[in-house]
């Protein structure tokens, strides 16, 4: 999965935009289907699994699917953001090696590259504190807490 995410972020200049666009299209499709049900336009539902179950169950399934799409979009956008953050940190580590090449700096770069995938996101975010306003760092951490809640369904919602 990490390779796929890395491929996505490196090959798609706006990977988060792609995730967002896919989300919007999916939500629109769900809304059109609900509208068709509401208006009794069953012809557009021919050949789907919706024809075999009661309309109330279809509505519940669509609502549940909408919630799942919402959650998966948060997870996908965070995954892309995290991979972009890792890529930036690796680029910066390479720049340091170019400025001050040494055996030690090469060993440090190797260590960073070998373990960065396991670093805590909050610690990576903290590295950006000198570059961004405190409010942006706090907002990013808030999004991360929400992402964690979505991923793990902790009882207390952020």
- Distance separating alpha carbons of residues 28 and 15, to the nearest angstrom: 20
pLDDT digits (tens, 9 = 90+) for 30-74: 999 888 888 888 888 888 888 888 888 988 999 999 999 999 999
Cut 0.85: pTM above it: no
Long-range contacts of 24-29 (CB under 8 A, 24+ apart): 26/69, 27/66, 27/69
- Distance separating alpha carbons of residues 36 and 58, to the nearest angstrom: 12
The separation between CA 125 and the C-alpha centre of its own chain, rounded to angstroms, equals 16
Cβ atoms of residues 12 and 18 within 8 Å: yes
pLDDT digits (tens, 9 = 90+) for 97-151: 788 788 888 888 888 888 888 999 999 999 999 999 999 999 999 999 999 999 9
């Amino acid at each position: 999965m990490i390779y796929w995410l890395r491929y996505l972020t490196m090959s798609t200049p706006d990977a988060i935009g792609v995730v967002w666009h896919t989300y919007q299209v999916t939500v629109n499709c769900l809304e059109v289907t609900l509208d068709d049900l509401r208006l009794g336009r069953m012809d557009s539902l021919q050949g789907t699994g919706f024809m075999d179950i009661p309309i109330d169950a279809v509505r519940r399934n669509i609502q549940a699917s909408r919630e799942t799409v919402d959650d998966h979009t948060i997870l996908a956008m965070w995954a892309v953001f995290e991979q972009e953050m890792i890529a930036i940190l690796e680029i910066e580590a390479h720049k340091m090696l170019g400025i001050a090449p040494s055996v030690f700096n090469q060993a440090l770069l190797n260590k960073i590259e070998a373990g960065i995938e396991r670093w805590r996101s909050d610690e990576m975010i903290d590295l950006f504190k000198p570059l961004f306003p405190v409010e942006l760092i706090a907002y990013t951490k808030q999004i991360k807490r929400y992402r964690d809640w979505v991923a793990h369904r902790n009882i207390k919602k952020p």
